[in-house]
A and B are shown apart, each in its own frame.
Chain A
Amino acid sequence: MKSCASGKSDYQTAPVRRFSRLIAESNFLWFCLAWLLIILSWELGAYLEWLNPQILPPPSQTIPYAFSGNITIGFGQQKTGLLESTSITLARVGTGMLAGILISSCLAITVIELPVLRRLILPVVQSLAPIAPVAWIPFTIVVIGIGGSAAVFIVFMAVLGSMTLSLIAALDGIPVEYLKIARNLGTSRTRMWWHVRLPAIIPGTMTAIRMSFFGAWMAVLAGEMAGINSGLGYMIIMAQQMYNMKLVMIGILAIGFIGFAIDRLLLLINSRLMQWIQ
């Protein structure tokens, strides 16, 4: 059954093999190396005055500032910090995505269970899906306002169309044998969803969730930059207006690293789920 998966290079000595495997397999190592190179050239550029340190403050200033623990910007009610802004934005993305996944699941279930409604729902979803999430920002700000719920709504709209389409495509793509066999084995409707359809669509759905997250993450930040009055995007805009370029840089890097970290997390969940279903 299981193939004999012993070492493919027995002629190499153990330490060499271990080292080369570490190099080859440690994505983290390469990740650090790549960023180290960027930071070094940035620092060098600022040092040699190729870059204006007023506009692009070097890492030797930015990094200590990032970890100084009391980064705040603005005054009075507008005052906000990096940590606070980030958690606000994350909470918005989380809420919006959950709501989006929930509603798109309901739509997908409806479309599968009631084929009559398929013709009604599908055209609407298909025409909503290509709308870029940022396109909802002006509409949302006018209709909902500049509070947190506007940001959640933008995330929700970013997720809804594409997620519904992905779910329907995944459900339509389930090998027909599984459904016929399940029906033949006397599976009830609920058990059909939980024990057959859900596990069958997990791979496609996890990819769709990752894609939706990117869309949502970008949309919410754009929304916060375009008028919503709190969050990471708002913090960056405020830092720019107060000419705190260190904070602008830190904000941008935070967007990148948090997005990256969440994508990795989703990937990890995906691979766990794949182990479970295969």
Chain B
Amino acid sequence: MNSANRKSPHRFGARLEFRGIRKSFGSTVSVEADGLIIEPGSLTVLLGRSGCGKTTLLNLAAGLDFPDEGSIRYDDRILTGPAPSTALIFQNNNLFPWMTAEENVAFPLRNAGLSKTVALEHARQYLRQIGLESFSGYKPSQLSGGMRQRITLARTIAMKPRLLLLDEPFSALDMQTRRMMQRYLLRIWNDSAATILMVTHDLHEALMLADRIALMASSPRGHIAEILDIHLDRPRNPEDTTFRSIQRQLDRFLENETLLAEHGSATNLINPGSSPEKN
């Protein structure tokens, strides 16, 4: 719903589809995903506790890794290499510490063949738009975590991506900065009409941002347990009763998940039938 209400986009976000995906690491850890469709221009959140394969799915979507079985469709093509027009943002290490803020933003522009002067000029322009022009010459280590992520987002926007893949982008930030960054992300989403797929373990964050939440469970293997469409008006109010009831419901799920995962390894709750003390 929300994506339809947004400003008329000049270009549409990409559409992603996970079909019969299965990806294993060694013999124990594996992830499955089938039938998850990410509509163009939507904001989907993969929510789950750590270790359920959220990041793996994101890497598959980025085309940095490939599934053992099944396929990822980007628009209508099966992904066989790095996903086109896709930007990737991590929790840390998004900016190269040996480059200044402006050099970091200019880096992809230089990659695309712009001359150094032109690229740096563009970079400063993007930094001006986010109010960080005066920090152009600073190294990432001299900037706060929030500033670093804002610069990362600015660099991302400079590339005009159709798909944004965010891996816990705000998890290292303090609560206030995180809220601010969430609002900032929504504004970018609104202006760019890009599709966003974001991974988080922060339930509140998921509810503040998502059109859709794919709830992930980790046992017996990582999989998508449930897909929820979040029909809440924006800007969202955490005090809202619907918001809070969904939050409670998801909270219970995540708590169960954690219990199951922790005890599962000790007493084999995953397969109750096979453990004699359960009967």
Contacts and interface: CB of A to CB of B under 8 A. Distances in A.
A124 to B, nearest CB: 29
A224 B108 CA distance: 52
Given A1-B142, A180-B64, A180-B88, A186 B108 contact: yes
Nearest to B108: A185
Interface stretch (B23-31, B66-74, B92-100, B235-243): B92-100
Interface string B103-139: 0000110111000000000000000000000000011
A175 B93 contact: yes
A191 interface: yes
B93 A181 contact: yes
A195 B64 CA distance: 20
Contacts of A2: 142
B93 A184 contact: no
A191 to B, nearest CB: 6
B107 A185 contact: yes
Secondary structure class of chain B's binding surface, majority of residues: loop
A177 B107 CA distance: 15
Interface in A129-182: 175, 177-178, 180-182
A181 B94 contact: yes
Contact of A185 (B90, B93, B143, B159): B159
Nearest to A199: B98
A184 B111 contact: no
Interface string A238-278: 00000000000000000000000000000000000000111
A99 interface: no
Contacts of B90: 177, 180-181
Interface string A189-201: 0010001100110
Interface residues of B, number: 27
Nearest to A185: B108
B86 interface: yes
Nearest to B158: A185
A278 B144 contact: no
Contacts of B46: none
Secondary structure class of chain A's binding surface, majority of residues: helix
A203 to B, nearest CB: 10
A180 B93 CA distance: 10
Contacts of A175: 93
Contacts of B272: none
B256 interface: no
Given A180-B64, A181-B90, A184-B87, A277 B98 contact: yes
Nearest to B93: A177
Interface of B: 62, 64, 82, 86-88, 90, 92-94, 96-99, 107-108, 110-112, 138-139, 141-144, 155, 159
Given A180-B90, A200-B98, A277-B98, 4 more contacts: A1-B143, A184-B64, A184-B88, A185-B108
